[in-house]
Amino acid sequence: MCGRYVLTQNLAEICAAFLATSGLSGIAPHYNIAPESKQVIVVRDRVGEGVWGWPVAPTYSPVINIRSEGMAEKPMFARSVEMGRRCVIPASGFYEWDNDGQPFYVHAPDAPLLGLCGLWTKDEDDMVRFGIVTRAALPHLAPVHPRMPAVLRPGGAKTWLEQGQLPEMPGLEIYPVGKGVNSATNDNAALLDPMAGAPQGNLFMAG
């Protein structure tokens, strides 16, 4: 799954990478993006905004992750799948937690800007909302968590957006970070620092 992610690139870099345009005035870098916040997404060739979290019944928290397996058959997502309401969520990387609550940062050393596959819908207030599509984790990530976002390079976004095909995964590296990321109020570059005393490069491989 994906419960937090990072985006440090500016709007111009995002538009250039995804061959998109935007009417937004700009965005600030964020190192600890949490659910239910408004974030940039790419829909077709346009960069806009949506709230992270799929709307459900008022007494339940929004759904932040969508399993790729069988999503077209699930009533909650079927209409968006049928209508081609796919999006890409620009991200520099994302966090995962193991069973002991240890956070890890996942990124692509040779691709500073990635995209997370997503679906979007609108809520009763006509607000765009999105969820991140997940898949089984790559072998070197599975010991931390069995699920992960479906990740793509910007050049592969068209395949997902237009055809709905999950992309080939880029090479990803994972390393442990401090528990400051556990609080959504923390949002600074130090969150990406490897955890003090952790062996470097102990979990990495090409996807």
Q: Assign residue 13 the CATH number of its domain.
A: 3.90.1680.10
For 43-98, write each residue's pLDDT tens digit.
999 999 999 999 997 778 899 999 999 999 999 999 999 999 999 999 999 999 99
pLDDT at 201 over 70: no
Q: In this structure, are strands 30-33 and 4-7 parallel, antiparallel, or unpaired?
A: antiparallel
User: The whole model's pTM is what?
Assistant: 0.94
Which domain does 177 fall in, by range? 4-205
The predicted model gives 118-125 an average pLDDT of 95
The predicted model gives 189-203 an average pLDDT of 75
In three-state form (DSSP H/G/I as H, E/B as E, the rest C), the secondary structure along the chain is CCCEEEECCCHHHHHHHCCCEECCCCCCCEEEECCCCEEEEEECCEEEEEEECECCCCCCCCECEEECCCHHHCHHHHHHHHCCCEEEEEECEEEEECCCCCEEEEEECCECCEEEEEEEEECCCCCEEEEEEEEECCCCCCCCCCEEECEECHHHHHHHHHHCCCCCCCCEEEEEECHHHHCCCCCCHHHHCECCCCCCCCEEECC
Q: Please state the φ and ψ torsions of residue 81, each to the nearest 5 degrees.
A: -65, -45
Q: How far apart are CA 83 and CA 87, in angstroms?
A: 12
**In the chain, pLDDT over 70 holds for what percent of residues?**
95
pLDDT at 196 over 90: no
Q: Give the number of domains in the chain.
A: 1
Look at the chain and count its residues: 207
